[in-house]
Every structure is written in C-alpha cells, then in structure tokens.
A and B are shown apart, each in its own frame.
Chain A
C-alpha cells in the first residue's frame, strides 16, 4: 500500500528529484495527439492482429512489474490475469456467431457448464525461450465461487463473490487469512468470471486464424480483441482461442497483453467431478486463522471526473 502519511515531505521529495536531476518533464504533446488520432479512427479500423502488441498496452511494462512483485502479490496479479482471461474466453465465444461448427460446439459446451477448471501459465514472450513467471490452477463455479491454486507460490485463494468474502491459504505456514469484508474493488475482477455477466459485458471482434496442431490436437483458431466496457478494471488486449476442430473442445487460449508477456490457458475441464469442499471458505483444520479487514474503496464508475 502506498504510504501517503507524509504528503508534504513527499511533495518536496518529488520536486527535489526533478530539481536535482535538472530534467524537465517530457513533452508528450506529439505522442498524445497521435494516440488521440488513433482513438478517433478506431471504430472504422481493422482490429490489430493478435500477437502484435498495441502501443498503449506495450507501455504498461507488465513484465517488469511482475518480476518486481512480492511473492504474495504475484498470486493476486495472477488472479487478475486469470479473471481477464476467463472473461476473454467467454467474450469471444458469445460474440462469434457463425464462426463455424467447432466454435458453435464449444460455445454450447460453455453455455451449459456451471463448473470449470483450467491452468493459466503466464510467461515471457518474444525471445523464443519463454520463462514461466506464474502458473495457476483455477476452478470456477456458478454462482460466484472461485478457487486459485498458485503452483508457483503454493498459495491458494478462495473467493465468494455473492458473500463478499475471501480466504487465503498459506500451506507452508499453516496459515489461513480470512478477508471480510472484501469490498467491491477486489470483488470486481472476480465478477467477470461468471457467464451471465460476461455475456453482457464484453464485445470481441473476431478473426479466423486457420487450423494448426495445438497441444497435439488439430485445432481451429479465432482471434479477437477483448474490449472491456469503459470504467471496468481491465485494459483491452488481443486474444487467440483454439478449439479442437473435431470435438469443439477448448484446447488453448492465449492472451497477449504486450510483446514481452503472454498468458496461456489450457487443460480445460468443463463440469469436472470435484467435491463441494473445494470451494469451501472454511479454514482447514490445523491452520492458524487470521481475520483482516481491508479498507473500503469506492467501486469503479467514477471515471468521469466531476470537472
């Protein structure tokens, strides 16, 4: 959490940084005007090809941020990525009428599913030798239950969107942290997982990517740009979705937030046979339990400043 406890001291600190370095703030006029021009043209322009970084997204320096994250925040970051990915998947499928038999079958399977599990791997990209940053096993169940198991950090996170509660489990320390109430700011990304919400919220352009062998299966690809509504907590980014050409089963989804990083979702199981206890927000026996209250913040929606 950023420390704002001594604002005046920090303001002097900021000014000193600039004064001592002797560097003026950069002139961003041309850059912003160029971007504004792109924005104006956007409604009529072809969507960028998946795999090609978009200028705004590439500047977010996601890779550096992930590398610099503490272990505990990596899982949280992964959770956000997972939610975005899941949203992208559903968004592509539900906005792609006429995309072929395979996709129609996949869409139908997703529409009927109430529980799903998948694996999310976030890795470096673009240098031909990807380095895995985070791997997370995800379980989702309607209505409003999510379980994230980080295979990198060992931390498990459970969220009930309906109840507004969260449980974090740290097995090495035998510690359980109950977060109650969670608050809308944290819950918001998780709401995106659920199908009913996603159908309404996302609009993806679609572009056939042809066929290729993916995870050892002949697969048909569909590319698109996942675009959240204004005011939601995710940036837009290119996605690729690959389904088994014969069976219509999901094979792989690739999200490309920038040219340095990509996330891959695979190992999909729809309606897996899992015990209800998997989604239990009760701390396991033998765990030291800690309860935390997070500061409540206003939910998104106040994007338009009041002038």
Chain B
C-alpha cells in the first residue's frame, strides 16, 4: 500500500512559533495546514503518474511491467534508507525546511524528466529519483509539523496533515484517469499536470512555510523566527536508540513484522469473492478513503488517551482485517469491512507513530528519531511481505492469514508491555520532567 510511513510529529515546546502552550492551543497551526497542502499537491503529482504508469508502459511503450514491480520494491528499500539520512541531516544542520525542500524539489525535477523520458531506462531513473526525494523529505517534514504544533494536539495535527496527504493520493489517480477519459492517449498531458502540481507544491513550501528550527534557541523568542541557534553539535545516536525511543523502535519492529501488506489482503478477498475480483483494481481507493476519513478522529483520540495506546491498539484493527479476510465469507460486506478496518489501521498508526516518536525524542534528535521509527516500520513491513509470501505458498492464503493473526494476538500484548511506561503519555517526556510544566496531561 502506498501509505507513507514517514511522518514525524513534533511537540511544540520552544520551537513552536505560533502556538501558545497549554490549554489555549486548540487550533492546528497554519504551518501544519500549509505542509498538508504541500503534501496534497505533491501526492496529486506523484499518484497521478503512478496510477497511469503501468498503462503507459504496456500500452504506449509496449513493454511488460513485470520488472517495474520489482523495481518498486527495490525503491521502497532505498527510500527507507535515504529517510534516515534525511532525518539526520535535518537534525545535524537544524534546517528541516530546506532538507524537506530538497526532497520535494528533487521529485519535481524528476517529473520534468518524465516529459523527456521515452525508454525504460529513462523511466527507471525518473522513478528512482522520485523515490529518493520522498525518502529525503519525509522525516524533516514531520519534524516541521512537530515544531509547529502544540504538544497537546500533536496527534490531531498529524491527523490533519495525513488527511490532506491522502486526499491528494485519492485525487491524483482520479485526475489522471479523468484526463485519459477526455484524451485517451493523453499521457503527456498527465505528465505536464503532474509537473504543474509538483512545482506549485514546492513553491508553497518554499514561500509559505516558515523556516522553523527544532533546536533550542538561546533566545526564547516565541515566534520561532529567531535564528540564534545553539552551536551545532554532533548527533548522538544514543539519544535516539536509548530510553523510551528504544521501546518504540522495538514495539514498532515487532508489530511491523506482522504487518503483511494490503496487497495480500486484497488477493485473499479477490480469490474468494466475485465482488472483490471485479473491484480489485479499486481496493486501494477504498482503503485510502477510510484512512483519510479516520486520520483526524484517531489523531485526536491519541491526544486524549495517549499516542502509544492508539498506535498499539490500531493493530487490533489489523488483526480484525486478517480474520475477516481469512474467514469463508464471500460477500460484499466482508470486502467493505476489510477496507474500512485497513484504513482505520493506517489512520491509527501512520501519523500517530510520528507523533509518538517526536514526543519521546529531544528537539535536537527529533528528525532522526522520527526517521528511525519510520525506517524500522518500513523495513520490517518489507520483511513481513517477503516472509508472508513464503508462508502463502507453503500453507495457502487462509491458513497464512490465521497464522499471522495468531502471532499478532501475542504481539499486541507484548508491544503493550514494551511501551508500558509511555502508553498514555500525551506530552513530551522531557517537558513532563520539568516541574513547572505539570499543568496537564502527562501520563496517567
């Protein structure tokens, strides 16, 4: 599934420019909205091309797409590793906006390349550049969301961002297919539209999003516009891999290993139900719509009851998906329920994990922390998909689903135990440690 695994939350202390601390902070920052619009535009851009690329490759270039599927897998891996680098650079130079900008700009340049690419080799280069851009930008972008948000509404801020993000992912393919409906051979028009949206996204980011810094300033200017930053220092990995973050990475890794990917769920449904077979090409749309509808409510819930709690219990939704998919129910309701539950799973884990990671890291290590959590999730899910593929052919689709469901039944309590100390925390740990900061909300 295409869900972006890379998002970072930010808490608002010190670096929050426009959001008052404490109970007054009830409104999602305009910076978060702007970043959401940047993501929306960029997703319209990338998803419009992604949706029609297989048609273009087979129908126009006359090639098999088989190899491109493999390429996509490879790129996901590259993207996960680049992501860590993006998070680290963002922290190291305390320039999340411009690191993110580099990633978005690279994707826009790749779109321009698409206008001139004609063969398989050129297309490969363009797709890879696009993926690298995505890897670079995700963690610093999430660090910015964090920096712009009051800690009390971090989950909600990420929910708003993810909603806009997925709206773009839903609109992009529709726009592309609409263009092809009007102009059946209008692939180049889609490429031009994609470039246009990418450029607008980059400009919105460059011009409208403030250059928030995540690092503590010597000056406490609450608008965050001040540039007086502490001297740069080397990042200590221990800050990310020790303490509570270690627990998050462990829990995310364990749960990620049991997240086998939507493709398999869709295939199980498709093999059993005529309805699902007919609508197979559209299943990801259903999941996407459920995700965008639930991202804000579940984000808000995470602000109230704790991000780790929502993150872990979101996997109950995934468990239900496995069970419903494996049970011999061949009707429309089973398919629809599966898609809604999958959307709920992504809505309770994607932005929420970023919020969780950001509240458990210091300002100096936030980008790296978020990137680390997302990379762990991406890599373990990749491993899960590969391992599940083996299981699938060894024991069959339904049995494999039951096996993974059984393991998840064990893993959810295990992850709960690992995350126990931070289960209901809704405020940054380092803030909660300040005696003057106790007015609300840290873990009960």
Partners in one complex: no
Binding site for B on A (CB under 8 A): none
